[in-house]
Amino acid sequence: MKTTRAEYTKRLNEVTLYFETIKLLDNGDCSIICKDINGGTTEKIIDGELAKIMKANGFLLLYNLIEATIRNSISAILNSISTDKLTFKLLSDNLKKLWINQEINKTKDISKFKEKVSKLSEKILNDKLLEFSNECVNISGNIDAQRIREIAKKFGYLEPKNGRGLQTIKDKRNQLAHGEFTFSDIGKNYTSNDLIDYKSEVVTFIENVLNNVETYINAKGYKKV
């Protein structure tokens, strides 16, 4: 979990730095002054349109923080399982289901389904070490509080509460990523204080997740009781 927490802190610092900058936009007209190697200066005014774009970009930074941290938390769990070298019978019921679903979902050709079941049975009966893929839980582009609770339930760690604002962050991120709205269309509806409030909600929620995952790993909650 040290790596997961370090990555979280790094990304959170990026968000904080960016939000401190866009907060300045509330004070009135701002500009960027650049000095070239010859001592000359160039000034760029941050007008209302650019301010909207910058605020919309804040949703991308927040979503990046959320998805990356959840992905890294999953990796931390799977790395711990790998270190413990567990066979099927040593896994908790939650992890047994997760592994079976992972292996079944790898089979796209229905004609090879019987062969896959046979191989799974062999691994289980012969107490072979199991491997989990980071893709055993699909999260790309669809992370909000409810999805995170579903992931917690799949693994069996304590589900985080609240986090309603994560739905808005996900929706705005997807609208931007899929080209449904321009950055200025999104940014015009939010103040820098709105974004700072979303950030505070994300921090509270995600740090709750990190604590729950760390407790789960330390207690080896993925093992059969």
pTM, full prediction? 0.88
Question: Residue 34: which H helix or E strand, with range?
Answer: strand 30-35
CA distance 11 to 21: 16
pLDDT digits (tens, 9 = 90+) for 68-125: 999 999 999 999 999 999 888 899 999 999 988 888 777 666 666 666 676 777 677 6
Secondary structure (DSSP) of 58-90: HHHHHHHHHHHHHHHHHHHHHHHHHHHT--GGG
SS3 35: strand
Q: Where are the domains of the chain?
A: 1-219
Question: Which residues, 6 or more positions from 93, have their beta carbon under 8 angstroms from its beta carbon?
Answer: 224
pLDDT digits (tens, 9 = 90+) for 130-145: 788 788 888 877 899 9
pLDDT digits (tens, 9 = 90+) for 149-185: 999 999 999 999 999 999 999 999 999 999 999 999 9
